[in-house]
């Protein structure tokens, strides 16, 4: 291919325009249910679990804004890479003592509640517009004592969702365009007992599309079973934590110099066509 043809083709393929949309991630966790069972029916000990009076709640948020894109021209395609500003973060906490903590950190909503019996609930929500990547986090921490020869099972139900508006504005995607999804949500739900953790990670993602997006994951469960096989009561630490992350990338927009180069490429095409005649 003539160099002018190649330049024009590459620059035309990189002509994409920012999509105007927003993405919302939500995560609801809890409450926790506790089931006790007896490991030794002949020891005369009734299985019991006693919660400590000290409760510690925490909410956090972190994220950054997209400052632009970098482009690298390859022989047959244009490679795009996102450029992000420095990460920002916020934090709030409460305790000791049962109660609830609600915050609006980093533009999101974080709420966690513990009324003294392990864990009551976590609600997280974060909405971002084009060119943002933010996460909301919350946790509840409380110790408990489990009787000898006893088993306890903790079970937490959670639901998550990802919703994105249909974007407005013109959008042309080149065939070779390969970047992360424009709307995505990832979330984590974890039960932590001492240094042992049992949890789940889930993610939804959608590539650039004109249609609105609504994905839902309902009534999922995370369970954790712990046994005290000793002859004495034992104390453990118990924590429930979760985070929800929302990302909405802004499509790359050519720099003014790119338009000039594209115009020169088109002029080159015209000149080449006249020479062919």
What average pLDDT values come out for the chain (277 residues) when binned by 10 residues?
A: 35 40 85 95 93 96 87 78 89 92 95 91 89 91 95 91 67 51 70 78 62 74 91 94 84 49 50 53
- Specify whether 264 is located in the same domain as 167: no
Same domain, 221 and 272: no
Asked whether residue 135 falls in the same domain as residue 179, the answer is yes
Report the C-alpha gap between 111 and 58 in whole angstroms. 9
Gap between the Cα atoms of 52 and 117, Å rounded: 9
Backbone angles phi, psi at 188, to 5 degrees: -135, 135
Q: Which domain holds residue 2?
A: 1-16+254-277
What pLDDT score was predicted for residue 188? 81
Mark whether 153 and 242 lie in a shared domain.
Answer: yes
Which residue reads 């490429």 in tokens?
A: 265
DSSP state of 176: T
Would you give the DSSP letter of residue 158? E
Spatial CA neighbour of 208 closest among 76, 80, 61, 72: 80
Q: Are 128 and 21 in contact (CB under 8 A)?
A: no
Q: Are residues 167 and 265 in the same domain?
A: no
Same domain, 272 and 145: no
Q: Give pLDDT, residue 12.
A: 32
Do 268 and 135 share a structural domain? no
- 35-91 pLDDT, tens digit per residue, is 999 999 999 889 999 999 999 999 999 999 988 777 788 888 777 777 889 999 999
Specify the pLDDT at position 139. Answer: 94
Helix (H/G/I), strand (E/B), else coil: 237: strand
Residues with Cβ within 8 Å of 53's Cβ and at least 6 positions away in sequence, in order, are 96, 97, 98, 116
Number of domains in the chain: 2
Looking at residue 108, its pLDDT comes to 94
Cβ pair 271, 263 in contact under 8 A? no
Contacts of 238 (CB under 8 A, 6+ apart): 118, 119, 141, 142, 143, 144, 154, 191, 192, 193
Q: Are residues 197 and 152 in the same domain?
A: yes
One domain, residues 269 and 243: no
Kindly state whether residues 12 and 26 are assigned to the same domain: no
> What's the mean pLDDT when you consider all of the chain?
78
On whether both 122 and 5 belong to a single domain, the answer is no
CA–CA separation, 85 vs 272, rounded Å?
Answer: 43
- Answer yes or no: do 118 and 213 share one domain: yes
Residue 184 β-bridge partners: 205, 247
């Amino acid at each position: 291919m003539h160099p002018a043809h190649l330049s024009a083709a590459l620059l035309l393929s990189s002509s994409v325009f920012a999509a105007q949309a927003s993405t919302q991630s939500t995560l609801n966790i809890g409450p926790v249910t506790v089931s006790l069972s007896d490991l030794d029916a002949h020891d005369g000990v009734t299985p019991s679990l006693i919660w400590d009076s000290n409760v510690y709640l925490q909410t956090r948020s972190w994220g950054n804004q997209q400052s632009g894109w970098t482009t690298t021209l390859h022989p047959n395609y244009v490679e795009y890479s996102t450029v992000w500003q420095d990460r920002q973060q916020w934090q709030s906490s409460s305790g000791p003592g049962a109660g609830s903590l609600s915050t609006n950190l980093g533009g999101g909503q974080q709420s966690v509640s513990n009324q003294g019996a392990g864990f009551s609930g976590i609600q997280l929500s974060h909405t971002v517009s084009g060119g943002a990547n933010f996460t909301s986090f919350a946790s509840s921490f409380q110790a408990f004592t489990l009787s000898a020869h006893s088993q306890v099972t903790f079970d937490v139900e959670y639901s998550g969702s990802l919703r994105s508006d249909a974007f407005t504005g013109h959008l042309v995607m080149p065939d070779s365009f390969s970047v992360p999804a424009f709307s995505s949500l990832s979330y984590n739900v974890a039960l932590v007992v001492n240094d042992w953790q049992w949890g789940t990670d889930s993610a939804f993602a959608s590539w650039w599309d004109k249609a609105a997006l609504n994905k839902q994951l309902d009534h999922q469960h995370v369970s954790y079973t712990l046994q005290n096989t000793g002859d004495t009561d034992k104390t453990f630490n118990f924590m429930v934590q979760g985070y929800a992350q929302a990302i909405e990338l802004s499509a790359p927009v050519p720099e003014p110099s790119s338009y000039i180069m594209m115009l020169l490429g088109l002029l080159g095409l015209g000149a080449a066509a006249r020479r062919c005649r």
